[in-house]
């Protein structure tokens, strides 16, 4: 009986250790940033934008970030996108002064 109890206790401890190691390895991995997969064709209002990020993979895109924190992917080839990026850059440099 004591051997049976010891075996069950050993299996239980190994199970807990296994779960702990698996959770630790998953939790220690870095979170991936948001990635653009499709592009919006709709022009956005510059007044609602607070920033942008450039992306090269898996597709080349500009990800605009709105005041509400929504991320919208657009084509870097569109003129309005380049103009919006310039305006956001100008806002950023004027605030830094």
The residue extents of the domains of the chain are 1-30, 46-96
- Alpha carbon 89 to its chain's center: 22
pLDDT at 32 over 60: no
> For the domain with range 46-96, which CATH number is right: 2.40.370.10, 2.120.10.30, 3.40.50.620, 2.40.50.40?
2.40.50.40
Find the helix or strand (DSSP H, E) in which 61 lies. Answer: strand 61-66
pLDDT at 4 over 60: yes
pLDDT at 90 over 50: yes
pLDDT at 70 over 80: yes
Q: Distance (Å, rounded) from C-alpha 55 to C-alpha 53?
A: 7
* Strands 61-66 and 71-74, bridge-based pairing: antiparallel
The residues pairing with 74 across neighbouring beta strands, listed in sequence order, are: 40, 62
């Amino acid at each position: 009986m004591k051997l049976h109890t010891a075996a069950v206790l050993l299996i239980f401890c190994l199970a807990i250790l296994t779960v702990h190691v698996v959770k630790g390895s998953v939790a220690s991995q870095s979170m991936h940033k948001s990635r653009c997969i499709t592009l919006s064709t709709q022009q956005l209002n510059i007044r609602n934008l607070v920033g942008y990020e450039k992306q090269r993979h898996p597709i080349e895109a500009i990800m605009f970030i709105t005041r509400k924190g929504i991320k919208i992917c657009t084509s870097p080839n569109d003129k309005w996108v380049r103009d919006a990026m310039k305006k956001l850059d100008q806002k950023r440099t004027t605030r830094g002064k």
